[in-house]
Homo-oligomer: A and B are copies of this chain.
Amino acid sequence: MDHSSPLTLVKIGGNVIDDAEETARFLATFAALPGPKLLVHGGGKLATTLAGKLGLPTRMVNGRRLTDQPTLEVAVMVYAGLVNKTLVAALQARHCDALGLTGADAGSVLARRREVRDVDYGFVGDIERINAPRLTEWIRQGLVPVFAPLTCDAHGTLLNTNADTMASALSAALAEAFDVTLLYCFEKKGVLADSADDQSVIPFLSEADYAQLKEDGTVSQGMIPKLDNAFDALRKGVSKVIICHARDLSACATAGSAGTLLSL
C-alpha cells in the first residue's frame, strides 16, 4: 500500500457542537485544512435536551445513559439528522465536499450489539468491520466523510456508538491506505497535568506516562476512554494522535504546535 498520502481525521466533541459560534469557527478551519480529511462528530447536549422535551426519562446504568428504543430514536434524529446535516450543509457552503454518513450508509461501519453480561446498555454497538475500500475511494475522489456516532448491525438495527471510538476505529482502518493524523478536538487545550488549570497542558504523553497519570488520578473520568481510544489508534498504525482544543485545529493539523501529542 502507498502510505505517502496524508489523511487528517478529526473528531469534534459534543461541547463544541453545542456552541454555534465555536462550531462555525471550527468548520471554517476544518474546511480550509489542505488534503484528504474526514470528520467524526459527537452529539452534544441536544439529544438530552430533546429527550427532556419529549418527557423521556434518563435511565443511567453505571454512570452511563441507557440507550433504550426511544433514546436511540432521539439519538438518530439528533446525531444523524440535525447535527450531521447542519454540519454537512455548512461545509458544502465552504466548498468542502462533505458527505454525511452513519455506519449504516453504504455498509461503512458494521457493528454488533453489545452483549448483555452484567449490564444491558441497550442499543449500543461495538464496531466489527469498516468498509475501508469504499471510504478510501471516496476520500481519494475528494469527498469528505462526516460521520455521526451511529452504526448498525447485520440485522439492520441502528446502534449508538461512542464517537471517540468511531474516530479511533476509522483511523486505524484507513491507516492501511493513508498516513493518518488523528486529532481529538474538544473544549480543553489537551491532556492537563492539573484539571483545574487549563494552561497545564502536557505537550507529550507516552503510554507509560499515561499509565502513571491514571494511577495517580491526574487523568480520570471522560479522559480515560478518550486516551484509551487514542493509544489504540497508535497501536493500530495511525501515524500521529493529538488531543487539542477545537480552536487549535489548524496549528495541530499543520504544525503539531499545540495540544498533547501521544506516543507509544
Contact = CB atoms under 8 A, between A and B. Distances in A.
Interface of A: 50, 53-54, 73, 76-82, 84-86, 88-94, 97-100, 102, 104-107, 143, 150, 152, 154-158
B97 A106 contact: yes
3 closest A-B pairs by beta carbon, nearest first, are: A81-B81, A93-B156, A77-B77
How many copies the complex holds: the figure is 2
A84 B102 CA distance: 11
Contact of A104 (B85, B106, B107, B157): B85
Give the dominant DSSP class at A's interface.
helix
Contacts of A106: 97-99, 143
Identify which of A76, A82, A85 gathers the most chain B CB atoms within 10 Å of its CB: A85
Nearest to A152: B89
A162 B241 CA distance: 44
A57 to B, nearest CB: 15
Contact of A98 (B88, B98, B105, B154): B105
A158 B97 contact: no
A72 B79 CA distance: 15
Nearest to A94: B156
Contacts of A105: 85, 88, 98-100
15 contacts: A76-B86, A77-B78, A77-B81, A77-B82, A80-B85, A81-B81, A81-B84, A85-B105, A85-B158, A88-B102, A89-B158, A92-B107, A92-B156, A93-B156, A100-B104
A71 to B, nearest CB: 13
A86 B159 CA distance: 11
A89 to B, nearest CB: 4
B85 A150 contact: yes
A154 B93 contact: yes
